[in-house]
Amino acid sequence: MLNQSTPLDRAFQALADPSRRAIVERLTRGPASVSELAKPLAMTFPAVMQHLAVLEGAALVASQKIGRVRICRLEASTLDRAEAWLNARRAEWERRFDRLGRYLEELQKEGGDDEARN
């Protein structure tokens, strides 16, 4: 389990938690302070901070402190990279079905010949 995790590992790992997904969801609608993010979550403030640390560690969220308030914003490009991975899998999957489709079409044609012979 030697922790040598890639950016993609960290992104998916971060998104695997419903509280963290809720935070991401909120941040798609614009930046927010930590306490603003904490409000709808049924847990203590430090717990929310730890979730934010995970999200920042995954580069899904960035933040900057202004006065005593920390403003968090979404890092959409990281979300994109996760989506891109899934997209690539789907692309390969669909490519495979195309091939299968063409193969079955070929069978159909040949099958038609067979049927003609009956």
Partner DNA sequence: CGATTGGTTAAGCATATGCTTTTGTATCGC
Partner DNA sequence: GCGATACAAAAGCATATGCTTAACCAATCG
Least CB distance from residue 67 to a copy of itself, whole Å?
24
Sort residue 66 into left (φ over 0), alpha (ψ -120 to 50) or beta.
Answer: beta
Please pick, from the candidates 36, 44, 87, 101, the single residue that binds a copy of itself as defined by CB under 8 A: 87
User: Cα 111 to the chain's mean position, in Å?
Assistant: 44
Structure tokens, 22? 């809720």
The amino acid present at 39, given as its one-letter code, is: K
**Separation CA 116–CA 113 (nearest Å):** 5
Residue 116 touches which of a copy of itself, DNA, none (Cβ within 5-8 Å per kind):
none
- Binding to a copy of itself by residue 114, rule CB under 8 A? no
Task: Detail the DSSP E strand segments found in the chain.
Answer: 32-33, 61-66, 69-74
Whichever of 99 and 112 has its CB closer to a copy of itself, that residue is 99
- Is 36 a binding residue for a copy of itself by CB under 8 A? The answer is no
**# residues contacting DNA (CB under 7 A):** 26
Contact set with DNA (CB under 7 A):
1-3, 13, 16-17, 19, 33-35, 38, 43-47, 49-51, 54, 65-70
